[in-house]
Amino acid sequence: MFSRLGSRLQGATQPLYALRQALVEQGLRITDLVSGNVNEHGIVFPPDLLEEILVESARAARLYAPDPLGRPAAREAVAAYYRAQGIALSAEQILLTPGTSISYWYAFKLAADEGEEVLCPCPSYPLFDYIAALAGVRIVPYRMLEAAGWEIDLDQLDASVSTRTRALVVISPHNPTGHVVSAAALAGIAEIARRHDLVIIADEVFGDFLLTPGILPRPAAGDAPLVLTLNGFSKMLALPGMKLGWMAASGDAARVGEAMRALELISDTFLPVNEIVQAAVAALLDRGTDFRQSYAREIRARYRNARALLSGSPAFGFVEPQGGFYLTLELRGMAEQAAAEALLREGILVHPGSFYDIGPDHLVLAFVQEPELQRNLYARLRRRLER
């Protein structure tokens, strides 16, 4: 009855989640230490301000007049966000999307034909496999080196390029390692992209959440032939339910023009972005500045708390993340699946590293929980692993 793809997408439940369901049915309360949804942990965009902006936006959007790229005022606001950080973009280089996952699908369809290849970092987020399958492209991993602080292995990245490679994904800050790609590494990546004529897909959804002071190095600041920068409101403004993302095209002017014309037609086929949300973009970025800054400070504070609670264990260690919401623990002397299952039986859900194609015996967790919950859960996690 189904296509080969439709059949593939009906896989069996992963054993860890089958165990979770069984434990829940037995009455055990499970706390999810993997979710990066900060709304679950006390961080929300100011409700009164959000309501005020949405009421104003509903009035502004009462007449339906869609623009395939997105409302011009919204695109100009996104372009201004980048210009304030030294990246010269215009509204004509911005496409609004209903979130970063759709942006990836657009980017894959733009860059590659059926069966062609996109290079993605390893470790990686498992969602890419599904998006690539839906786009009909093949994911080829390139290495990040834990022993070097999760730096990208540029030589291996270059060697991974084949005659079928059309694009490469750069995630910075990286999920789940928290690595921030340096300006020097980005220069090397741009050189590879130019030499092999590749599109760079730059995922910056955690770009506002550097854990130490500094400025995020951006692929869009380099000299690659074409960079598609992805971001959105889910992480930036703690508004995952708004379903608002964007793609910013930069690089050689001719390539940018070709890309935007193709993306405009792709988007025009679906017109998927809610008009009220589009009408709210400029106000959310402008009037949400104070919240965005306090939110970033709170994430840094929660990371410092997590680091203090988890450092110095004989059972595990970790490379300190430079950005984002996640920690990757390297286990010492125990198997990751058994460790994850033991923690689950104690009411704590973490992911084995294999979910992200990390080498053997790692666990992945988010550190965005409120401090009191961190103190309780991390102490339990640490005791269990040290046993």
Quick check: 52 pLDDT over 90?
yes
Cα 159 from chain centre: 25
pTM of the model: 0.96
What's the pLDDT tens digit per position in 129-144?
999 999 999 999 999 9
Model confidence band, residue 301 (pLDDT cutoffs 50, 70, 90): very high
Cα 288 from chain centre: 21
Which value, in Å, is the radius of gyration of the alpha carbons in the chain? 21
Model confidence band, residue 102 (pLDDT cutoffs 50, 70, 90): very high
Q: Per-residue pLDDT averaged across 116-125, rounded?
A: 96
Q: Per-residue pLDDT averaged across 218-241, rounded?
A: 98
Q: What are phi and psi of 367, to 5 degrees?
A: -120, 25
Show me where the domains of the chain are located: 4-44+290-386, 47-287
Q: What is the spatial distance between Cα 162 and Cα 119, in angstroms, rounded to a whole number?
A: 10
Reduced to 3 states, what is the DSSP secondary structure of residue 189?
Answer: helix
CATH number for the region 4-44+290-386 comes to 3.90.1150.10
What's the pLDDT tens digit per position in 310-340?
999 999 999 999 999 999 999 999 999 999 9
Other Cβ atoms less than 10 A from the Cβ of 143: the count is 17
Q: Do domains 4-44+290-386 and 47-287 have the same CATH topology?
A: no
Angle (CA) 39-40-46 rounded to 5° is 30
Q: What is the spatial distance between Cα 168 and Cα 201, in angstroms, rounded to a whole number?
A: 6
CA distances from 315 to 57, 70, 272, 277, 349 (A): 52, 50, 48, 47, 18
CATH architecture, domain defined by 47-287 = 3-Layer(aba) Sandwich (3.40)
